[in-house]
Amino acid sequence: MGPLYKLGWFDFAYGLQMAGLIGFLFGFVLERAGFGNVRKLTAIFYLRDFAVLKVMFTAIVVCMLGLLYFSVFGWIDLGLVYLLPTYIWPQIVGGLILGVGFIMGGYCPTTSIVATVSGKLDGLIFIVGMIIGSFIFAEIFPLLEGFYSAGDMGAIRLTDVLNLNSGIVALLVCLMAVGAYWFVEKVENKFGDRDTLPGGSKGMKRSAAAILILLGLILAIINPDRIAADRPSPQVQTQKKTEETQKPTPKAEKPSSSKFEIVEDEGC
């Protein structure tokens, strides 16, 4: 959504409407997939049901392939996609804390909201706990400020770490996904209840795996990074900004309280 907004495909008000619609559909799909049920979510820790891993890994792969193919077709400029900076040590500690909370409470932040909207009291209690934890973190932040920014690596990607182009990385991630799906199904069949696990023919699973690997292989061959480098970057409202910088700064006027204005763009 962010890069499309920056390319001028729609205005800010329409972007908010689309964000609300996408959020609603995302929550609806999570609930229908059973992710509003704490037993479904925690089953992964007992090696009985790996639906959480499958759904999240599938979302990562679909997003990765979609962005790279959109970049190849010229429908999106990956340079406009905002990347959160990496602070390796606090993010490792935060991930461990989130994992412990996931096991104890049974929800992650998103699924707790889905559970609450579905009418589950434990999801609401989980949200209240997150709010209280946020207040506590804000109060003790001066003590943690040094650690909060420890291990600053900037906006880094796997392509930078591995020194490989994004097409090769995409193929490796696709192969990893297929291998992970195959392995966790073996574990599910051994420790889980086969009557409650989702079915599916072996032929369909093999076809899906082949298509996934093929999509990654195509990206590895054509190298999206080279195609993006050869294509001129789209100009997003730069002419107006250039004219404004060349003109003398006008006298500041009192802004209207009824008009919303983005003062500083922090990214997508």
Specify whether 74 is located in the same domain as 183. Answer: yes
Specify whether 23 is located in the same domain as 136. Answer: no
The answer to whether residue 124 sits within a structural domain is yes
Q: Which of 97, 130, 155 is the last residue of a domain?
A: 155
Specify whether 161 is located in the same domain as 226. Answer: yes
List, for residues 164-198, the tens digit of each pLDDT value.
Answer: 999 999 999 999 999 999 999 999 888 888 777 77
Count of structural domains within the chain: 3
The answer to whether residue 235 sits within a structural domain is no
The answer to whether residue 39 sits within a structural domain is yes
Residues of the chain with pLDDT > 70: what percent? Answer: 83
Quickly state the pLDDT bin for 237 (edges 50, 70, 90): very low
Specify whether 54 is located in the same domain as 179. Answer: yes
Contact (CB, 8 A) for 35 and 112: no
Across the chain, the runs of DSSP E, i.e. the strands, are 86-87, 152-154
List, for residues 78-135, the tens digit of each pLDDT value.
Answer: 877 888 899 999 999 999 998 888 888 888 888 999 999 888 999 999 999 999 999 9
The answer to whether residue 205 sits within a structural domain is yes
- Interior angle at CA 241, CA 240 and CA 243, nearest 5: 65
Specify whether 11 is located in the same domain as 130. Answer: no
Specify whether 139 is located in the same domain as 94. Answer: yes
Q: What pLDDT, on a 0 to 100 scale, did the predictor assign at position 231?
A: 75
Determine the Cα–Cα distance for residues 44 and 38; give it in Å rounded to an integer. 11
Q: What pLDDT, on a 0 to 100 scale, did the predictor assign at position 262?
A: 47
Long-range contacts of 116-122 (CB under 8 A, 24+ apart): 117/27, 117/31, 117/36, 118/31, 118/36, 120/36, 120/38, 122/38
Looking at the DSSP bridge assignments, the partners of residue 152 are: 87
The answer to whether residue 197 sits within a structural domain is yes
Residues of the chain with pLDDT > 90: what percent? Answer: 34
Domain span including residue 18:
1-32
List, for residues 85-99, the tens digit of each pLDDT value.
Answer: 999 999 999 999 988
The answer to whether residue 248 sits within a structural domain is no
- Phi, psi of 100, rounded to the nearest 5 degrees: -65, -45
Query: In the predicted model, what is the mean pLDDT of the chain?
Result: 83
The answer to whether residue 252 sits within a structural domain is no
Residue 236 pLDDT > 50, yes or no?
no
pTM attached to this predicted model: 0.74
Specify whether 12 is located in the same domain as 59. Answer: no
